[in-house]
Amino acid sequence: MEVGGPHGAPDVQAVRPLRPLRVLVAGGDERYVRSTEFLLGRCGYETRRVRHARPLVDDARLRATDILLLEGEASPESAEQEAAGIVALLDHVAVVVATRAALSVQHPRILAVEKWAALDEVLVAVNCAWAAIGPRADSPPTRPTGLRLVQSRR
C-alpha cells in the first residue's frame, strides 16, 4: 500500500480511524447546524451540535471532540479568531470553518469549506482536518487544560 499522493500530500483514503471521528457542529444558523450534523451522522461520524452563543473554548463538549465544524457566515472574522484560539489551546482539535469568505489565518489545523457546499466537499474538509491533527488524535491533550503548573522553590 502506497501512502501519500502527488507532491507528498497525505492520502487520507488510506487512513482508517479505530473509532468514529467526533465532530462538534456549532454555529448561529440552526438550519445549517442541524442538517450538517444529521448528514455527518449518516456518514458514520459521531456528532453533536451546539448553538453558538458563547465562546466554544469554554464548552466541555469541545474537550471530547476531534473536529469542530464552525459555521462562520455571520461573522467570518470572529469565527477565525475563535478557531485560532481553540487550536492554540487544544492540541487534539482541528477546526473547519464553514463560510463564503476566504480565511486569513494560516494554520494547518484550521481549514475552510464553503457554507452549503456539497456533502463530499464537507467530508473532504473534515477528513483533511483529522489528518492534520496527527497521530495523537485518540490521546488526551498533552498538557492539562485549566490547570497551571507551578514549580516549587527548594
pLDDT digit string (tens) for 59-112?
767 778 889 999 987 788 888 888 888 888 888 899 999 988 888 888 889 999
In a domain, 144, yes or no: no
Q: Say if CB 98 and CB 111 are below 8 A apart.
A: no
Residue 147 inside a domain? The answer is no
Whether residue 12 is contained in a domain is answered as: no
What is the span of the domain harbouring residue 41?
18-133
Asked whether residue 5 is domain-assigned, the answer is no
Is the pLDDT at 118 greater than 80? The verdict is yes
**Contact, 111 vs 12, CB < 8 A?**
no
Residue 45 lies in a domain: yes
Choose among 64, 17, 81: nearest CA to 43: 17
Confidence of residue 142 (pLDDT cuts 50, 70, 90): very low
| Residue 92 maps to a domain | yes
- Report how far residue 129's alpha carbon sits from residue 118's, in angstroms, rounded to the nearest whole number: 17
Higher pLDDT, 58 or 2: 58
Q: How far apart are CA 52 and CA 68, in angstroms?
A: 12
pTM for this model (two decimals):
0.73
Has residue 124 got a pLDDT over 70?
Answer: yes
Task: Assign 136 a pLDDT band (cuts: 50, 70, 90).
Answer: low
Q: Which CATH number characterizes residue 67's domain?
A: 3.40.50.2300
Question: Are the CB atoms for 52 and 32 separated by under 8 Å?
Answer: no
Asked whether the predicted pLDDT for residue 145 surpasses 50, the reply is: no
The answer to the question of residue 140 being in a domain is: no
In a domain, 153, yes or no: no
State residue 74's pLDDT score.
78
Tens-place pLDDT, residues 37-55: 999 999 999 999 887 666 7
Q: How many domains does the chain have?
A: 1
- Comparing 113 with 136, the larger pLDDT belongs to 113
Instruction: Give 141's pLDDT tier (boundaries 50, 70, 90).
Output: very low
With vertex at residue 88, the alpha carbon angle to CA 134 and CA 71, rounded to the nearest 5 degrees, is: 85
Nearest-CA neighbor of 73 among 12, 10, 27? 27
